[in-house]
Structure 1
Amino acid sequence: MTRGFAEVKQDAPKPKPKASTALRRAASASLPIRSNPNPTRSDIQPIFTYATAERYLMQNLRGALPKGAVSLHDAWWVPKWTDSQTGKDGEVFLFANGSFVCWGLGEDEAQRFAQEVLANSGAELAPLKEAETEDLEFVTDPEENTRLQGDLIVLGRQPPLSSEDTIPMDLPQSVLPRETVFARYAFSQALSRSTALSVLESSLEEYLTSVAPLPRALQKTGKPGLGRRALVMKLGELLRFRQGLNLNRENFSDTPDFYWSEPALEAYFNSLSNALEIRTRTRSVNDKITYAAEMQSVLRELLTETSAHRMELIIIALIAVEVVICLIRDGPELWEMVSGKKEEESQSPETQ
């Protein structure tokens, strides 16, 4: 039996919106669904994305995942995971970018999944000090079309897929309808990208904060404020950001190859990617990296000039030392030679 809107809102986890995204600004578009429940529509349920590392080693996850987990294109899919404390059932998609997406599970359940499944798997590459999260909500309604409406995903009817090979015949039973498993996969991949991008954004903000005092130090003292080794380390950190943003197998700008032959799934993926402004945020991060690289280049040139000036002073000092040594070693002999010549010059007129 479908519960009233007020009860649904009370039970559903309160979202922590990221106000900068168009998805949150368009939240009002989902109000007609939220405020008008009908008999065919399910309760509003949470989607929670949780990033715990910079990357997951996907081959290491095989032995750590619960029984029934299968590889689904670029993700591991856990069709049913039951929380040990609340008893809630949900499904989980895990992606190589270091994040996983839970359908029907909230933040507490996602944390326990990370602790119970991922913590000892050896799959987390460069674990994060603090997990990055993103949350959303969904409903199922077989009488509606699958779509993103405002900040709510509706799972229902969808066009047939172009290829019969897209959906394996031996998919295990899930807690959610089998017909929309790849729609959920497409939405999950967009969500995981957004969360992984948030990890880079947070790390880059910390980096920019750490180098923010350098221009002021240069203004006040005329010195870069960093040694050569520290500057090279900062440059390496910056290059790692750009590599993570643009050069990984799954970068943030390209549409995955999987969707090229599935326009319906590509539409789901792009609709959520656009709502989360992934491409705009990627350009913004690239611009910040470019600015930081330009500042690094200026500081590096200043260090090079300083080193060159120092080398010039050292060379001058060495020449001066060599002159002094020559004077000490050969000075008396030179003086005798000069004095002797003067005496000869003074005596030569008298002789004539």
Structure 2
Amino acid sequence: LLKLHFQSFIGPQVVSIASGDSFDLLSALKDPQIQLIYQHKNIDNDAEAGLHFSLKPEYLVKSNKIREFFLFNDGVVVFWGLDQRSQILRLLRKYINNPYDSKLVEEEIESMSFLITNEDETCIKNDRFLINIQKHETEFNSSKSILERYAFSHGMATSVKIAIWESQLSERAEILAITTKALSEGYIPWKRKEVLKLIGYFSDLRHSINLNCDLLSTDFYWENEHLENFYDQAIKHFMVRKRMRLLNNRLDYCEDLVKLIDGMLAHRHASTLEWMIIILIVIEVIFDILHFFENSFYEKLLKRIDSSDRYDK
């Protein structure tokens, strides 16, 4: 009973799930099973910003309820008031590029309640999305209302994507923690190939974070300035900018440490080569000395034989 009371208090949920590196939006748009139950709208003309899907009227039990999800190119789905999340994710699975491990996906799910109201302005307040529909001609189905929820969803999707990156980086950072302990004891537990793999991993992660993520782009709001306030509220609530800064700082540290170890391994390899060259030179000198003494010995022996023959004569 207490659980049911708590659920009724928090209200319907907005749930953000990162499933993989990216979605094939155009293919997902053409899925016959999705088309059967959901109607869609492009957020922008090219569908680059994302897609909006809502239950068709004939499948709505209550017409005044929000039942929708936003699909983002960077592999994130944001559900509003939908309980059929597992079913939708199964339909979308075939359109995911480089899907994440299911355990990681479940650990980094983010959720927050929302409330439809006629009193407060549309905003984030007390850890809840407040959606004012009074000002919209067709209530929550109007383009303006959908775009407001898109802006909130955009910020929330960015947050869950960062959570995935934070988790991936933390997993690799554990390896570095073991390595620093080994360094303090005077040895390097890695081989050069392992170091190069880590350098490549961190470089690829930094590229994904800073150059290859559409969620971090705010170009959409240049032409939709009236939505930027809602997006900024979500970004501030989920501390996106601070987390991005910390994430890049942690990446800097990890990359610097790995490059330091790479330099140490390169120096050790160069030292090994130097010692090998020195040993080869020493061996060559020894052979030259032996060859010299050998020739000297034979010369003396021949002289003795020659002098002995002369004496006999």
TM-score range, shorter chain: 0.7 to 0.9
Q: Does 1:113 align with 2:88?
A: yes
Match runs of 1:239-254 below 5 Å: 239-250=203-214, 252=216, 254=217
C-alpha deviation, 1:158, in angstroms: 8.5
- 1:185 lines up with 2:150 in the alignment: yes
Structure 1: distance between partners of 2:292 and 2:272: 30
1:318 matches 2:285: no
Q: Residues 21-64 of structure 1: CA distance to partner in whole angstroms, max 9, x if unpaired? A: xxxxxxxxxxxxxxxxxxxxxxx321111111122232332333
2:42–2:52 contact (8 Å) kept in structure 1? yes
CA distance in 2, matches of 1:215, 1:200: 22
Whether 1:301 and 2:259 are equivalent positions in the alignment is no
Q: Identify if the C-alpha distance between structure 1 residues 138 and 9 changes in structure 2 by more than 3 Å, giving closer, same or farther.
A: farther
- Matching residue of 1:45: 12
Residue 335 of structure 1 deviates from its aligned partner by: 4.0
TM-score (norm 2): 0.81
Cα displacement (A) at 1:324: 3.6
1:110 counterpart letter in structure 2: R
Aligned-pair Cα RMSD in Å: 3.2
Instruction: Name 1:205's counterpart in structure 2.
Output: 170
The reply to whether residue 150 of structure 1 matches residue 126 of structure 2 is yes
Asked if the contact 1:81–1:92 (Cα under 8 Å) also holds between the matched residues in 2, the reply is: no
The answer to whether the 8 A contact 1:61-1:123 is kept is no
Kept in 1, the 8 Å contact 2:152–2:231? The answer is yes
**Match runs of 1:324-335 below 5 Å:** 324-329=286-291, 331-335=293-297
Unaligned regions of 5+ residues in structure 2, if any? 305-313
- SS of alignment partner, residue 242 of structure 1: helix
Q: What SS class does the counterpart of residue 189 from structure 2 fall into?
A: coil
Q: Which amino acid aligns with 2:202?
A: L
- Answer 1 or 2: which has greater helix percent: 2
Higher mean C-alpha displacement, 185-194 vs 139-148: 139-148
Moved more, 204-213 or 72-81: 72-81
Q: Residue 218 of structure 1: which of 183, 186, 194 is its match?
A: 183
Deviates more, 1:226-235 or 1:136-145: 136-145
In 2, the alpha carbon distance for the partners of 1:333 and 1:270 equals 89
The answer on 1:66 being equivalent to 2:34 is: yes
Shift of the alpha carbon at 1:224?
A: 1.8
Matched-pair identity in %: 21
In structure 2, C-alpha distance between the alignment counterparts of 1:336 and 1:158, rounded to whole Å: 114
- Comparing 48-57 with 300-309, greater Cα deviation is found at 48-57
Q: Secondary structure at the match of 2:187?
A: coil
Matched, 1:57 2:34: no
* Alignment check: 8 A CA contact 2:157 2:215 kept: no
String of CA shifts for 1:207-249, please: whole Å, max 9, x gaps. 10122111110111x2221000001111111112211211114
Per the TM alignment, residue 112 of structure 1 is displaced from its structure 2 partner at its CA by 2.5
Q: Structure 1 residues 324-333 or 224-233, which shifts more?
A: 324-333
* Residues matched between the structures, number: 286
Report if the CA contact (8 A) 1:54-1:196 is conserved: no
